[in-house]
Amino acid sequence: MQASSGTRTKTRNKLKKSVRARGLSPITKGFQTFEAGEKVNIIIDPSIHKGMPFSRFHGLTGVVVGERGAAYEVSVKDGNKTKMVVARPEHLVRNVDN
């Protein structure tokens, strides 16, 4: 039987919440705003499926380039390439090491 190859394959541990953080996240995370040039960490919230970036970018730091609808375009270094990740604000955390 052929293995499934969806967007959340091999993410059992990566997209798992801790016991005390289970359930829906506070709605204020969706109201966050970011300016262009601001550094953000991509931390995927598995309880919110909409606007979720690909699991490879979980934990990476990037720079907000612009907006795309309700989401933000984040420039991330992936190896030697620079990639553009489109993610909603629920999956972004302001970087404190600015």
Give the model confidence (pLDDT) of 28-76 as tens digits: 999 999 999 999 999 999 999 999 999 999 999 999 999 999 999 999 9
Between 54 and 3, the more confident residue is 54
What does the pLDDT average to over 13-24?
Answer: 93
The two tokens of residue 63 are 């720079």
Return the pLDDT at 89: 97
Between CA 71 and CA 42 the distance in angstroms is 13
Return the pLDDT at 3: 87
Q: Positive or negative CA dihedral for 88, 30, 33, 19?
A: negative
The two tokens of residue 50 are 């909409």
Between CA 27 and CA 69 the distance in angstroms is 18
Any residues with CB less than 8 A from the CB of 59 and at least 6 apart, and which?
41, 42, 43
Statement: residue 79 has pLDDT above 70: yes
- The pTM of the full predicted model, rounded to 2 decimals, is 0.90
Contact 50, 7 (CB under 8 A): no
Contact 89, 31 (CB under 8 A): yes
What does the pLDDT average to over 79-90?
Answer: 97
